[in-house]
Amino acid sequence: MSATFGNNLKVTIFGESHSAGIGVVIDGLPAGLKIDEKKIAEAMKRRAPNRSVASTKRQEADIPEIVSGYFNGRATGTPLTALIRNTDTRSQDYERTVELLRPGHADYTGFVKYHGFNDYRGGGHFSGRLTAPIVFAGSIARQLLEQHHIHVSARIKQIADVMDPGPYSAAEMEETERKDFPVVDMDIGRKMQDKIREAHSKADSVGGVIECAISGLPAGLGDPFFDSVESTLAHIMFSIPAVKGLEFGDGFKIAGMRGSEANDTPILKNGTVSFASNHSGGIGGGITNGMPVLFRVAVRPTASIAQEQKTVNIRTMEEASLRIHGRHDACIVPRAVEAVKCAASLAAADLWLEVNHD
């Protein structure tokens, strides 16, 4: 199924941005798993629209209604389903884009794949709004991981050309999670916010990079080929709308390094094998090596910008021009941090459940 992820923890998302609602079915949660609804609500809030600088003004409560698989604060072990209502749609903003393809968005590909029957309103099933059910499911997966001392954190590393290089300690990352703008160094964060405001004032948008770390994963998870740790994370990271790049450890930079610089030296630490560095991002041959799994995703500048753009009218098959009206994020990155963290939690839980069954 196109909307299902996972081998051991299966997650199916559904819905469209402007339909009655969106949601998720999670199959494979260990029976008896303690679920803290407050933690879910906090994660939903960190991703919600109308929260960050120059973000969409759409107002959604994003309170998930759990309709199955949950009883007395614990997972029952049968499919857990949650519904999230869409309450602040403004579909008239999309009257023109039913035929005028938005450059950079999924209007053309959606039209071709679904023969014009796709719900185009608000991007339909392609919308970034579908990261709300991913965050719901991922925040439960994250609780499962935390109960086994595995921690997932993420931060803004770059917005436009402004960088917050890091690296940072676990404590600094934890502190960052509580911020409205999840960057570690707030002096750099203010420069990033200025870039977003400046682009927005020019009817334009900016992108950026999110860095994510999964620490505490035992060595030995994953597979050499098609279910490698990289493949599993890539599978779900590229399911987040607007993610266009992904690199692990030293990433593309490793291509220019010498073997002597890139190799992670095995060392003994408290009687077990560890590594003196982490250029490979905690993965060897597709399998975790016990070091933090470290990766970065590149997020494109928001497609829907308010300046006039050239396009094609898909009904008349004529070239046309388009000015998009509506409530869009001038930068997707701040809200996508939670989506990356929760998607990483789903991937890590899926890998972990391969060898641990409760």
Ligand X SMILES: Cc1cc2nc3c(=O)[nH]c(=O)nc-3n(C[C@H](O)[C@H](O)[C@H](O)COP(=O)(O)O)c2cc1C
Among 134, 192, 332, 342, binds ligand X (CB under 6 A): 332
Q: CB nearer to ligand EPS: give 23 or 281.
A: 23
Residue 44 identity: M
126 is in an annotated binding site: yes
Among 126, 168, 295, 352, binds ligand X (CB under 6 A): 126
Q: How many angstroms separate the CA atoms of 23 and 317, rounded?
A: 35
Q: How many angstroms separate the CA atoms of 173 and 167, rounded?
A: 10
Based on the shown chain and the rule CB under 6 A, indicate whether residue 249 belongs to the binding site for ligand EPS: no
Among 127, 153, 239, 280, binds ligand EPS (CB under 6 A): 127
The interface partner of residue 334, options being ligand X, ligand EPS, none and the CB cut-off 5 to 8 Å by kind, is none
Q: CB nearer to ligand EPS: give 47 or 142.
A: 47
Number of C-beta neighbours around residue 312 at 10 A: 17
Based on the shown chain and the rule CB under 6 A, indicate whether residue 58 belongs to the binding site for ligand EPS: yes
285 is in an annotated binding site: yes
Q: Which residue has the tokens 């559904």?
A: 14
Contact 343, 134 (CB under 8 A): yes
295 is in an annotated binding site: no
Based on the shown chain and the rule CB under 6 A, indicate whether residue 64 belongs to the binding site for ligand EPS: no
71 is in an annotated binding site: no
Least distance in Å: CB of 106 to ligand X?
4
Based on the shown chain and the rule CB under 6 A, indicate whether residue 240 belongs to the binding site for ligand X: yes
Among 12, 176, 278, 302, binds ligand X (CB under 6 A): 302
Among 33, 70, 93, 250, binds ligand EPS (CB under 6 A): 93
Alpha carbon 299 to its chain's center? 10
Q: CB nearer to ligand X: give 289 or 302.
A: 302
Based on the shown chain and the rule CB under 6 A, indicate whether residue 303 belongs to the binding site for ligand X: yes
Among 242, 297, 340, 342, binds ligand X (CB under 6 A): 242
Least distance in Å: CB of 50 to ligand EPS?
8
The interface partner of residue 60, options being ligand EPS, ligand X, none and the CB cut-off 5 to 8 Å by kind, is ligand EPS
HEC profile of the chain: CCCEECCCCEEEEEECCCCCEEEEEEECCCCCCECCHHHHHHHHHHHCCCCCCCCCCCCCCCCCEEEECEECCEECCCCEEEEEECCCCCHHHHCCCCCECCCCCCHHHHHHHCCCCCCCHHHHHHCHHHHHHHHHHHHHHHHHHHCCCCEEEEEEEEECCEECCCCCCHHHHHHHHCCCCCCCCHHHHHHHHHHHHHHHHCCCCCCEEEEEEEECCCCCCECCCCCCHHHHHHHHHCCCCCEEEEEECCHHHHHHCCHHHHCCCEEEECCEEEECCCCCCCEECCEECCCCEEEEEEECCCCCCCCCEEEEECCCCEEEEECCCCCCCCCCHHHHHHHHHHHHHHHHHHHHHHHCCC
Least distance in Å: CB of 300 to ligand X?
5
Instruction: For the chain, report the end-to-end CA distance as a whole number of angstroms.
Output: 26
The interface partner of residue 64, options being ligand EPS, ligand X, none and the CB cut-off 5 to 8 Å by kind, is none
19 is in an annotated binding site: no
Based on the shown chain and the rule CB under 6 A, indicate whether residue 128 belongs to the binding site for ligand EPS: yes
Binding-site string for ligand X from residue 7 to residue 46, where x marks contact by CB under 6 A and - marks none: ----------------------------------------
The interface partner of residue 240, options being ligand EPS, ligand X, none and the CB cut-off 5 to 8 Å by kind, is ligand X
* Binding-site entries for NADP(+): 47
Interface residues with ligand X (CB under 6 A)?
56, 105-106, 123, 126-128, 131, 240-242, 300, 302-304, 328-329, 332, 335-336, 339
Interface residues with ligand EPS (CB under 6 A)?
17, 49, 56, 58, 60, 89, 93, 122-123, 127-129, 132, 241, 326-328
